[in-house]
Amino acid sequence: MATMKNRNIAHYLLALALLVAFGASSCSDWTEEQPVKQDIIKPGDQDPEKYAQYLETLRSYKKSNHYLVFARMNNAPEISVSERDFLRSMPDSLDVVSLRYGDKITDYDAEDIPLVQKKGTRILYGFDPSEQNGAGFTQYLNGLIERIRTLGLNGISVVLSTPLSAQDEQTLVNSLSVVAGPGKSLLLVFEGNPEAISKTNRSKFDYFVLPTNTMPNVLEVRNSILYAHEVCGIAMDKIILSAIPNGNIFDSNNKLQKAIPEMARCVVALGPVGGLDVYDIHVDYALNTEHKYMQVRTAIDLLNPSPIK
């Protein structure tokens, strides 16, 4: 990614006005485990013409040169306790949302997917191949691709917890790279240490999300970026850092900071790299009761100063 340049935010003033009218609309939280009927008033139902203008401006912004902001949503909880568990309530300016448990996408998720995609947000099918390798792995991957097509998703996120055998890795890459990756219509993202993927296969992925969410200080983050770039050969604009809402990290002055805004600063100061991925985004929903997703919105403002939230 090219070095970020000064923004002409006047281009997005219309979006700010429309955001005030539409961006905060959502239904109330609930805590009862019994199903409760909710009458969701969608922003587009209030003033369709202005909302259409807002969506067009939002999509234009996401096509512009900017730092990407990903989020990983732990979809399909056993009990949905609030709007934090629904795609429709994600911040509008997110570029990518990965559904961590792609194999468990519910009817509610499927209903929300096209609503979120209208905002230019790409939705990824997340899965851990180490939980599926072995007999029937090829069949599983073929079924996964078919499911992605049926749902109309925008790509795949490979969340690798345990290294694969050479054979299973090649099966994985051969199957997924037919439809996803650089030059393909679908994104292909790898979450984990890029060293877990062989050198010849790293070029098959669009982005690598580094496990910086577990790192205690920015020095380790810096070393992780350097290792991914200089040793593993990952282009800087393909590197995405990760953080969690309730995490903390020591900055370069050895002062403890909230992880998400500090990691957003690392995206620029230690690279620049491609962007930031917020894991467990549902946690940020409730950290500030007056302003949902406060840390995520702060990170978006730090990375891409503009009126769009």
- Render pLDDT for 82-122 as a digit per residue (tens, 0 to 9): 898 899 999 999 999 999 999 999 999 999 999 999 999 99
Q: Is residue 4 part of a domain?
A: no
Query: Which segments of 87-178 are extended strands (E)?
Result: 96-99, 122-127, 155-159
- Render pLDDT for 63-82 as a digit per residue (tens, 0 to 9): 999 999 999 999 988 787 78
Domain membership of residue 274 as a residue range: 65-83+90-303
Q: Is residue 279 part of a domain?
A: yes
Q: Is residue 247 part of a domain?
A: yes
What is d(CA 40, CA 37) in angstroms, rounded to the nearest whole number?
9
Q: Is residue 190 part of a domain?
A: yes
Q: Is residue 7 part of a domain?
A: no
CB 203 within 8 A of CB 238: no
Q: Is residue 33 part of a domain?
A: no
The structural domain count of the chain equals 1
Q: Is residue 23 part of a domain?
A: no
Q: If residue 70 lies in a helix (H) or strand (E), which one and from where to where?
A: strand 68-73
Contacts 24+ apart (CB under 8 A), 82-85: 82/29, 82/30, 82/31, 82/285, 82/286, 83/26, 83/27, 83/29, 83/285, 83/292, 84/29, 84/282, 84/285, 84/286, 84/292, 85/282
**Residue 33's pLDDT is what?**
46
CATH number of the structural domain spanning residue 122? 3.20.20.80
| CA-based end-to-end distance of the chain | 22
Global confidence as pTM: 0.84
Q: Is residue 49 part of a domain?
A: no
Q: How is residue 40 written in tokens?
A: 């969701």
